[in-house]
């Protein structure tokens, strides 16, 4: 694909938003693409080797989604864990490999949690998100930091970048959202063009919800007669959170840029806990502060040598307190530091052959203090090094190949090498049909909790190994009347040395062991279709379906040998249908319907009737309008989620909200 | 392209149709036959379940039948909101009741011996139980008021009112407790305070309910048991580091051994060394270690231990997050049987005095098409009463039901007689019989056709009543519905007839049966029956006393080889007023003799039953 044709696709994708802004101002388009260009330069070549799943721009905003986690439900091959409510933890699994095999990148730099290895995606707001991408295997751009070659699944979160039309110097966005369960969510963003090349973005958001949502447990006798039917209100699910971000972007020449991004998130929330017999509320509280500053510099020389430097410092504080009178109190503080450095280089040897080398270093420290026992804090440290080498070949228009090797060294553990091979074959260059395949190995290193948790940690753990095999068939076609993209993939993954908690003797003393092998077979199918109908109507649909088996094959003597692992549904899928109408003045009106289905699954290793969890599915509906007067824009969204009020649980004993409503008013200048 | 789109949409919608969410049905109980050995009484297994999973599960083993029932409590108490609860921690029988501590549900569940809910006592973070007089004593990790020292409490609860009467502060995280000579001994484990474990046993005077002494035993004491000599054996877990676990016999000896669990039977204390996977036996007299042949070396995580007079029960908790295994051994080391339990089978309780327990509300794993259980057998005085089945000195209503079972349950092929008019039997299957299209139930008798006729023969019609276990208690104490036979609307049929028989008897004895006709196991001197009375059907054909064969709807009316003539449709059910009543399924069947005729030679007409079959079970 030529760079030009890529821009055209980009244009088609952005058509809606561009059209909305101003369909005559060409320079605004150019301005926009100039910035896109920087991102695109490196990506265009590799684009087809691994096709990411993407949600961006207006499509992202139209989804019935509050956080990144909500949006990721619309991707195939993803299993979400959601403990319910605005404040409930939300993590994802990609292709059933475990959430710790999924890396999440915020503007190109991985978010870490050395303590438990989990990134709570419920904390990342969609309001300043421009794009969410999910890559299976790895991003198929060989010009990336070494660490990016290391995870089995990768989620890239990209925040809004400033776009200025000619003569514009600043943009302001102000938004207010109200909703059920006392949700109040104001958001303000300011973009300032300091010079032609330098711009500043600021974004701040506050979220409050009392989390008091009704939930219902109803059970029937085998005869169909009601056994019990109880509705209660979720308690201690309140959240107060503030997010503030600051970005500085500098673009120079046509090849280089640097940017600095500072992020701060505070929250104070209740942990509502499991609903079990005789327990309707819990008293746990959690205070968090996540701060990071990251800087990125990138440039290109002689049209063939690209260099990128990333630096990050993160500081995360967690305070966990249990107020519950019925339990022994606990009061713990955790403080984490992370320093990260990445240096990546790519050289184009020939037009058809690129090579890259990257080195990353990371330092993690965790201080843990039990405030109740007045014990002196415990400290844990870790040094990690990653060294990657990668190469990409393009054999005319037919075949693209990539191969990478990553060497990982964590502390004194012997360095481990993991390869990855990616190929994309286009039998008929005239048709956008490709067959993509990859094989990749990746390690998931034990977290501080795995290694050192009181009475549980095991310092002798080995990393968990995932081997992925995937084949994909993808087809894409764009005309004036429609855009179509279909793809289907088959994958086979094998996770060995799985780190699991294992009991050691009595009194619930557990330890972590490398004990577990899981065999995963799956099929993902996706169809994205847009139809440009007469009268300026656009119909967009997005269909996703995943079937997968994730079988425990650790030990034939286990009662759960050959059983599906916990919380992995066999079937899952989603449907999004959007009808959008643009008036001749450029105003927008639209209706968005989404349906998410997660099939039956089991909540424990043994697939027995006592561990069975029913399917759940929700219908969400939203209506929106967008009106422009000169350079002022007003947007209004009304969302109804879980339209039919299904009583469901994603995680057993953590009830999810019934029908709920959100209303958003946004102003933009 | 559009066709492909349509196919996708169709595929998605068909997926939805076949994979929708249904009503959430309560968890069933599943019965599994684990042994043919017959012992007495039953055994409850309290499976802890992991914290937050709400999977505490009470399983029951009917030792008399060798049947293991998972989730017994759930089946007995289907209306308990969110089932038994979160993390079972102790179970004991005291008097005629069963008490279970559900730690993370902060309650003591009080049940009858069939595990039917009686009440609950809400106690925060409760752990273990002890009983004396009319009081229950419960250790709890926290007191009613939060304690800055994190000391726990022991609560005194009145077993009659289930109210807390007194509370006493003890040490850190009190676990097991034991009563000796009016004093309560509580293990203060300190189990939540890593590196700062408690090491004392608190002694509480039960009269004053105050702590009178703290005995230093050893780090992290968790279990305390009294032996037959009055010694107290305490299991101290150590600090899982330099201080090794030990068993302390207060005032006598220390035995250095891992000791996850302890059980005392006779003059032997059995100690579970979970680290070396051994059961060790010690004399309670001289504390010497004895030979002990039971081998648990193949266990993954030995967990619970119960020693009874004839068997040692040991559980393996496996990996804590999947089914455990209960093993039954005799003291010679032989393993007799094993059964799969719930998650973390932690606590065992042998019950006595519980009469036969049987699940009726849900489907059985190995459900049989034949009846499995006889609930009531009340024949009216008659010539075969006390004979079919045979009455023996000492029999009671219960044992007669067992004899009926031996005779006709599980396709045994025997015969029982209902005696004169009104006499009845109530039986059931090990599952509910569904009301489906066509006939649902076949009941076998001993009717036959007269040679060369199908209109005449030996017919001793009984009327069928059915009942659904509405209150889900497993007992036939719910509303009964009559299955309407062909004579229901006949003007000669008398409905709602009541008759009383007395021990003196008004039944005419015949020459072949000169034994008592009144059921001997019934202590009351009179028996009253109520039901319909069919018109006399006897005729004399070719000099033979025969009966007219009825068209349909009666037991012991047509030969067993005639499926249509001996089977019944649950859709025939009518209520007392004669109005049709829809039943989706039934649990209990009652058959009573509906005729009152005495023939010269063969005696009275009396319905006989050979068994019954659920026509929907293969």
CA distance A449 to A113: 10
Return the pLDDT at B1: 44
Q: Report CA-CA distances (Å) from A64 to A362, A363, A607, A615, B530.
A: 37, 38, 33, 20, 66
> Are B12 and A543 a contacting pair at CB < 8 A?
yes
The tens digit of pLDDT for each residue in A29-51 reads 333 333 333 333 333 333 557 88
Return the pLDDT at A21: 36
Q: Encoding tokens for residue B214?
A: 């703290």
Report, as an integer, the average pLDDT of A467-481: 94
> Are A653 and B54 a contacting pair at CB < 8 A?
yes
- In A, residues 315-334, which contact B (CB 8 Å cutoff)? 325-329
Q: Which of A580-589, B449-458, B500-509 has the lowest mean pLDDT?
A: B500-509
> Are A277 and B102 a contacting pair at CB < 8 A?
yes
Q: Least CA distance to A373: which residue of chain B?
A: B193
Mutate one of A326, A479, A650 to test the B interface: name it (highest B CB count within 10 A).
Answer: A326
pTM of the model: 0.77
Return the pLDDT at A508: 60
Which residue among B15, B26, B104 places its CB closest to the CB of A221?
A: B26
Please determine, for residue B183, whether its predicted confidence score (pLDDT) is greater than 80.
yes
Which residue among B8, B55, B107 places its CB closest to the CB of A278?
A: B107
Please determine, for residue A302, whether its predicted confidence score (pLDDT) is greater than 70.
yes
What sign has the CA pseudo-torsion B92, B94, B100, B103?
Answer: negative
> Are A597 and B19 a contacting pair at CB < 8 A?
yes
Q: Least CA distance to B276: which residue of chain A?
A: A505
Considering only residues B170 and B541, tell me which one the structure prediction assigns the higher pLDDT. Answer: B170
Return the pLDDT at A170: 93
> Are A220 and B79 a contacting pair at CB < 8 A?
no
Return the pLDDT at B508: 54
Place of tokens 């229950």: B136
Mutate one of B29, B53, B367 to test the A interface: name it (highest A CB count within 10 A).
Answer: B53
> Are A527 and B5 a contacting pair at CB < 8 A?
yes
Return the pLDDT at B390: 84
Please determine, for residue B192, whether its predicted confidence score (pLDDT) is greater than 70.
yes
- In A, residues 361-420, which contact B (CB 8 Å cutoff)? 373, 375
Q: Is B19 on the interface with A (CB under 8 A)?
A: yes
> Are B322 and A604 a contacting pair at CB < 8 A?
yes
Share of chain A above pLDDT 70, in %: 92
Q: Which CATH number fits domain A17-668: 1.10.10.1400, 2.40.170.20, 1.10.3720.10, 1.20.1270.360?
A: 2.40.170.20
- List the domain boundaries for chain A: 17-668
Q: Which residues contact A593 (CB under 8 A, 6 or more apart)?
A: A575, A576, A577, A578, A619, A620, A621
> Are B261 and A276 a contacting pair at CB < 8 A?
no
The tens digit of pLDDT for each residue in A487-535 reads 999 999 999 999 888 877 655 667 888 889 999 999 999 999 999 999 9
Q: Report CA-CA distances (Å) from B548 to A19, A464, B456.
A: 92, 80, 5
Return the pLDDT at B346: 95
> Are A529 and B258 a contacting pair at CB < 8 A?
no
CA distance A338 to chain B (A): 29
Q: Encoding tokens for residue A366?
A: 């965790």
CA distance B571 to B466: 11
CA distance B319 to A506: 11
| Strands, E assignment, B448-487 | 448-449, 456-458, 462-467, 480-483
Return the pLDDT at A41: 33
Half-sphere exposure of B402 (CA within 13 A, CB side): 11
Query: Residue B71 gets which letter from DSSP?
Result: T
CA distance B249 to chain A (A): 21
Q: Least CA distance to A329: which residue of chain B?
A: B150
Q: Is A527 on the interface with B (CB under 8 A)?
A: yes
CA distance A481 to chain B (A): 12
Report, as an integer, the average pLDDT of B596-603: 76
Closest CA to B320 of B345, B349, B296, B347: B345
Half-sphere exposure of A358 (CA within 13 A, CB side): 31
CA distance B472 to chain A (A): 9
Beta-carbon count within 10 A of B486 CB: 14
CA distance B235 to chain A (A): 12
CA distance A372 to A333: 10
CA distance B266 to B264: 7
Query: What is the predicted ipTM?
Result: 0.89
Alpha-carbon torsion angle A273, A279, A284, A290, nearest 10: 10
Q: Is A222 on the interface with B (CB under 8 A)?
A: yes
| Vertex A357 angle, CA A355 and A360, to 5° | 155
Burial of B194 from C-beta contacts in 10 A (0-12 / 13-18 / 19+): middle
Residues of A in contact with B222 (CB under 8 A): 506-507
Q: Is B544 on the interface with A (CB under 8 A)?
A: no
Return the pLDDT at B524: 85
CATH number of B32-351: 2.130.10.10
Computed over its alpha carbons, how large is the radius of gyration of chain A?
25
- In A, residues 151-210, which contact B (CB 8 Å cutoff)? none
Residues of B in contact with A601 (CB under 8 A): none
Please determine, for residue A182, whether its predicted confidence score (pLDDT) is greater than 80.
yes
CA distance A288 to A311: 23
Name the 3-class secondary structure at A341: strand
Place of tokens 């106690």: B123
Q: What are phi and psi of A535, to 5 degrees?
A: 65, 25
Q: Is A223 on the interface with B (CB under 8 A)?
A: yes
Residues of A in contact with B57 (CB under 8 A): 610
């Amino acid at each position: 694909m030529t760079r030009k044709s890529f821009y055209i696709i980009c244009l088609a994708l952005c058509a809606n938003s561009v059209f909305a802004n101003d369909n005559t101002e060409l320079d605004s388009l150019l301005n926009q693409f100039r910035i896109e260009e920087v991102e695109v330069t490196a990506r265009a070549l590799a684009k087809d080797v691994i096709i990411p799943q993407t949600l961006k721009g207006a499509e992202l905003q139209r989804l019935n989604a509050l956080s990144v986690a909500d949006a990721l439900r619309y991707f195939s091959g993803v299993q979400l864990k959601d403990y319910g409510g605005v404040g409930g933890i939300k993590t994802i699994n990609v292709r059933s490999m475990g959430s710790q095999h999924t890396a999440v990148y915020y503007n190109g730099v991985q978010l870490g949690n050395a303590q438990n290895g989990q990134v709570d995606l419920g904390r990342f707001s969609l309001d300043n998100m421009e794009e969410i991408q999910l890559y299976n295997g790895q991003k198929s751009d060989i010009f990336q930091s070494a660490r990016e070659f290391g995870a089995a699944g990768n989620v890239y979160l990209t925040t809004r970048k400033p776009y200025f039309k000619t003569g514009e110097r600043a943009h302001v966005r102000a938004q207010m959202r109200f909703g059920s369960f006392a949700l109040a969510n104001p958001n303000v963003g300011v973009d300032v063009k300091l010079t032609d090349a330098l711009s500043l973005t600021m974004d701040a958001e506050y979220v409050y919800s009392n989390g008091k949502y009704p939930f219902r447990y109803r059970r029937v006798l085998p005869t169909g007669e009601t056994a019990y039917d109880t509705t209660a209100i979720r308690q201690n699910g309140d959240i107060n959170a503030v997010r503030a971000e600051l970005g500085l972007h500098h673009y120079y020449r046509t090849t280089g840029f640097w940017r600095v991004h500072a992020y701060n998130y505070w929250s104070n929330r209740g942990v509502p806990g499991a609903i079990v017999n005789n327990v309707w509320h819990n008293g746990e509280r959690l205070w968090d502060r996540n701060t990071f500053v990251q800087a990125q510099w990138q440039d290109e020389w002689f049209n063939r040598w690209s260099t990128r430097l990333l630096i990050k410092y993160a500081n995360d504080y967690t305070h966990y307190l249990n107020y519950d009178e019925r339990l022994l109190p606990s009061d713990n503080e955790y403080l984490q530091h992370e320093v990260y450095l990445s240096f990546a280089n790519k050289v184009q040897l020939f037009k058809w052959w690129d090579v890259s080398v990257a080195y990353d270093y990371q330092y993690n420290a965790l201080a843990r203090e039990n405030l109740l026992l007045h014990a002196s804090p415990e400290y844990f440290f870790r040094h990690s090094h990653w060294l990657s080498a990668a190469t990409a070949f393009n054999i005319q228009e037919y075949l693209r190949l990539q191969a990478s090797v990553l060497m990982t060294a964590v502390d004194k553990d012997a360095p481990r090498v993991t390869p990855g091979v990616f190929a994309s074959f286009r039998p008929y260059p005239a048709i956008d049909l490709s067959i993509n395949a990859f094989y990749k190995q990746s390690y998931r290193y034990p977290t501080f909790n795995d290694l050192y948790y009181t009475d549980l940690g095991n310092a002798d753990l080995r990393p968990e190994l995932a081997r992925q095999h995937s084949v994909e068939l993808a087809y894409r076609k764009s005309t004036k009347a429609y855009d179509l993209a279909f793809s289907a993939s088959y994958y086979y993954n094998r996770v060995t040395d799985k780190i699991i908690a294992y009991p050691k003797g009595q009194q619930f003393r557990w330890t972590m062991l490398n004990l577990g092998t899981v065999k995963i077979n799956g099929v993902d199918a996706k169809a994205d279709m847009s139809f440009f109908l007469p009268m300026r109507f656009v119909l967009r649909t997005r269909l996703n379906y995943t079937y997968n088996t994730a079988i425990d094959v650790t030990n034939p003597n286990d009662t759960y040998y050959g059983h599906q692992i916990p919380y992995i549904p066999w079937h899952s899928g989603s449907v999004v249908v959007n009808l959008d109408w643009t008036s001749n003045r450029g105003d927008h009106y639209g209706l968005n319907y989404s349906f998410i289905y997660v099939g039956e699954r089991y909540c424990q290793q043994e697939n027995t009737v006592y561990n069975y969890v029913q399917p759940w599915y929700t219908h969400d509906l939203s209506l929106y309008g967008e009106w422009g007067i000169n350079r002022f824009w007003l947007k209004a969204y009304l969302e109804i989620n879980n339209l039919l009020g299904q009583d469901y649980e994603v995680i057993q004993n953590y009830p999810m909200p019934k029908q709920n409503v959100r209303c958003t008013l946004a102003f933009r200048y | 392209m559009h066709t492909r789109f349509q196919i996708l949409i169709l595929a998605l919608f068909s997926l939805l149709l076949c994979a929708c969410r249904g009503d959430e049905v309560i968890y069933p109980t599943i019965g599994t036959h684990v042994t043919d050995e017959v012992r007495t009484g039953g055994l409850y297994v309290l499976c802890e379940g992991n914290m937050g999973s709400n999977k505490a599960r009470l399983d029951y083993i009917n030792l008399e039948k060798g049947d293991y029932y998972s989730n017994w409590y759930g089946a007995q108490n289907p209306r308990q909101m969110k089932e038994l609860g979160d993390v079972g921690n102790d179970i004991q029988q005291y008097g005629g009741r069963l008490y279970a501590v559900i730690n993370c549900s902060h309650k003591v569940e009080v049940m009858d011996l069939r595990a039917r809910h009686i009440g609950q006592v809400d106690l925060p973070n409760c752990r273990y139980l002890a009983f004396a007089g009319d009081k229950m004593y419960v250790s709890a990790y926290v007191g009613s008021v939060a304690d800055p020292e994190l000391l726990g409490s022991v609560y005194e609860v009145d077993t009659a009112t289930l109210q807390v009467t007194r509370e006493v502060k003890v040490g850190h995280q009190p676990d097991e407790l034991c009563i000796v000579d009016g004093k309560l001994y509580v293990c203060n484990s300190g189990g939540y305070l890593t590196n700062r474990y408690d090491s004392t046993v608190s002694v509480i005077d039960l009269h004053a309910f105050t702590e009178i002494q703290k005995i230093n035993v050893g780090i992290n004491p968790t279990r305390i048991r009294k032996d037959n000599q009055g010694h107290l054996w305490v299991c101290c877990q150590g600090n899982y580091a330099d201080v090794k676990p030990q068993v302390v016999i207060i005032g006598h000896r220390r035995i250095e051994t891992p000791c996850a669990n302890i059980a005392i039977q006779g003059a032997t204390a059995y100690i579970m060394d979970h680290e070396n996977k051994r059961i060790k036996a010690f004399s309670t007299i001289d504390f010497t270690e004895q030979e002990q042949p039971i081998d648990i070396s193949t266990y993954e995580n030995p967990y619970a231990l119960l020693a009874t007079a004839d068997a040692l029960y040991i559980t393996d908790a496996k990996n804590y997050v999947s089914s455990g295994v209960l093993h039954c051994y005799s003291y010679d080391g032989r393993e007799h049987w094993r059964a799969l339990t719930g998650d973390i089978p932690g606590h065992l309780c042998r019950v006595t005095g519980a009469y036969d327990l049987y699940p009726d509300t849900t489907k059985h794993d190995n459900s049989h098409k034949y009846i499995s259980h006889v609930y009531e057998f009340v024949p009216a005085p008659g010539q075969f009463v006390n004979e079919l089945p045979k009455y023996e000195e000492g029999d009671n209503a219960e044992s007669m039901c067992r004899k009926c079972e031996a005779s006709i349950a599980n396709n045994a092929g025997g015969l029982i007689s209902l005696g004169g008019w009104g006499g009845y039997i109530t039986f059931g299957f090990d599952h509910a019989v569904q009301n489906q299209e066509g006939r649902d139930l076949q009941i076998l008798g001993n009717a036959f056709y007269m040679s060369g006729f199908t209109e005449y023969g030996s017919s001793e019609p009984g009327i069928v009543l059915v009942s659904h276990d509405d209150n889900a208690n497993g007992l036939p104490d719910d509303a009964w519905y009559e299955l309407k036979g062909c004579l229901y609307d006949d003007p000669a049929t008398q409905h709602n007839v009541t008759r009383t028989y007395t021990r003196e008897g008004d039944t005419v004895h015949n020459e072949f049966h000169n034994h008592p006709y009144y059921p001997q196991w019934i202590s009351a001197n009179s028996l009253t029956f109520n039901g319909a009375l069919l018109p006399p059907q006897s005729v004399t054909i070719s000099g033979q006393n025969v009966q007219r064969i009825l068209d349909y709807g009666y037991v012991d009316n047509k030969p067993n080889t005639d499926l249509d003539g001996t089977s019944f449709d649950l859709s025939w059910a009518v209520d007392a007023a004669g109005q049709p009543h829809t039943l989706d399924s039934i649990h209990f069947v009652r058959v009573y003799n509906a005729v009152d005729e005495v023939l010269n030679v063969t005696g009275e007409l009396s319905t006989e039953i050979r068994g019954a079959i659920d026509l929907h079970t293969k």
